[in-house]
């Protein structure tokens, strides 16, 4: 008898469901354990904006801040943040460890992002990612690294060192291909050194809905029928590249040495336009060997009325035709995705600065 829960059916169809949210109360209340047990939740992603809302917008962390300051009053807001975040990531990873073991290391992952102000600093990113991975000391954690041009070099070095990496803020197919190639180069370096490949894990987080948000105002004037279509078309094309890269001879040799594919992860999958279906960026992107990380409202919506049908590799010709129309309309897709990357990095930097300021406000009376 088929499972009644669409989230569980999605996992059974080969797409892992991860949760794009973390907060201490969901860990301490048993809610995360319920999501894992009832929905077959297989991972968690976090970012500076998520932690900003969790720490600045709740009292969940006040007692922990007090304890940390009693232990070491000299800690900076940045040091305090990473202490709090690492505690959360460790607790979530412990809850998901049975999933990691049951899937032989494919799922059960929890992601923590490096400081967003390091997005264009290769050495700084590598240093902090290495330190965070070592502090966490768990096999089922990933360090998120922005997929900027400097980030590509960081990804290659980290994979070569055996650090699990979630490459984030990907908007263009071209950049995604560069990320996959950086992953392969990292594996090659590792193999050359005689190091094992079988437990190095990585995903490429491809942001979806923000592309429609950026293009729809222009398309409304020039080709209204393309509104709400381009983001999913772009993601489908990225998946075709994934199939070619990880189905090819180059990766076959690495796979024989124990390497795993770097799965595509669909991020930014909440619907920003209320006129669109609430699952527009989930229903259309269902396919094997992928991940969709769902924010809470989208997660609940899919549990309630999600339809599990393999759609990711359907209508690819239509998707290509839609993308091919953009230059004819005077739209430079590369320029748009470049801008979205810049805006994404800047948004995370602002969230991180707001978060550190909120921690300073919370701790100043304790220090006094």
Long-range pairs, 123-126, Cβ under 8 A, ≥24? 125/150, 125/151, 125/154, 126/154, 126/157, 126/158
Helices (H), the chain: 6-12, 24-28, 31-39, 48-56, 62-71, 77-102, 122-136, 149-161, 173-192, 209-222, 230-246, 249-256, 280-283, 296-305, 316-328, 333-367
Residues 132, 268: Cα–Cα separation, whole Å: 24
Q: Is 194 helix (H, G, I), strand (E, B) or coil?
A: coil
Q: Residue 210: how many CB atoms within 10 A of its CB?
A: 20
> Which residues are tagged catalytic?
144
Q: Which of 83, 77, 5 is nearest to 38 (CA)?
A: 5
Long-range pairs, 315-321, Cβ under 8 A, ≥24? 315/236, 316/236, 316/237, 316/240, 318/233, 319/232, 319/233, 319/234, 319/236, 319/237, 320/233, 320/237
């Amino acid at each position: 008898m088929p499972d009644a829960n669409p989230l569980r059916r999605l996992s059974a169809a080969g797409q892992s469901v991860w949760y794009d949210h973390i907060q201490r109360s969901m860990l301490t209340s048993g809610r995360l354990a319920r999501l894992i047990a009832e929905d077959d939740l297989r991972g968690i992603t976090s970012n500076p904006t998520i932690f900003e809302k969790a720490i600045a917008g709740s009292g969940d962390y006040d007692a922990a801040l007090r304890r940390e300051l009693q232990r070491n009053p000299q800690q900076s807001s940045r040091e305090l943040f990473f202490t709090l975040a690492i505690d959360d990531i460790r607790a979530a990873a412990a809850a998901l460890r049975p999933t990691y073991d049951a899937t032989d290391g494919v799922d059960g992952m929890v992601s923590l992002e490096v400081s967003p102000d390091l997005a264009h600093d290769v050495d700084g990113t590598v240093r902090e990612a290495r330190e965070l991975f070592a502090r966490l000391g768990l096999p089922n954690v990933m360090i998120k690294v922005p997929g900027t041009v400097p980030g590509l070099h960081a990804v290659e070095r980290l994979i070569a060192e055996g650090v699990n990496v979630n490459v984030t803020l990907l908007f263009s197919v071209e950049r995604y291909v560069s990320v996959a190639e950086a992953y392969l180069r990292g594996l090659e370096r590792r193999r050359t050194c005689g190091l094992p490949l079988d437990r190095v894990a990585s995903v490429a987080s491809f942001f979806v809905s923000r592309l429609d948000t950026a293009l729809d105002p222009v398309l409304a004037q020039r080709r209204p029928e393309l509104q709400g279509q381009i983001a999913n078309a772009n993601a489908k094309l990225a998946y075709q590249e994934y199939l070619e890269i990880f189905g090819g001879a180059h990766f076959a040799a690495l796979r024989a040495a124990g390497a795993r594919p770097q799965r595509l992860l669909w991020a930014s999958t909440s619907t920003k336009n209320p006129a669109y279906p609430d699952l527009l960026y989930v229903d259309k992107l269902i396919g094997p060997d992928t991940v969709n990380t769902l924010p809470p409202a989208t997660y609940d919506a899919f549990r309630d009325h999600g339809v599990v049908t393999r759609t990711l590799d359907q209508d690819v010709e239509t998707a290509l035709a839609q993308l091919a129309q953009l230059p004819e309309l005077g739209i430079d897709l590369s320029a748009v995705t470049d801008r979205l990357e810049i805006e994404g990095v800047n948004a995370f930097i602002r969230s991180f600065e707001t978060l550190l300021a909120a921690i300073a406000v919370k701790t100043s009376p304790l220090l006094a």
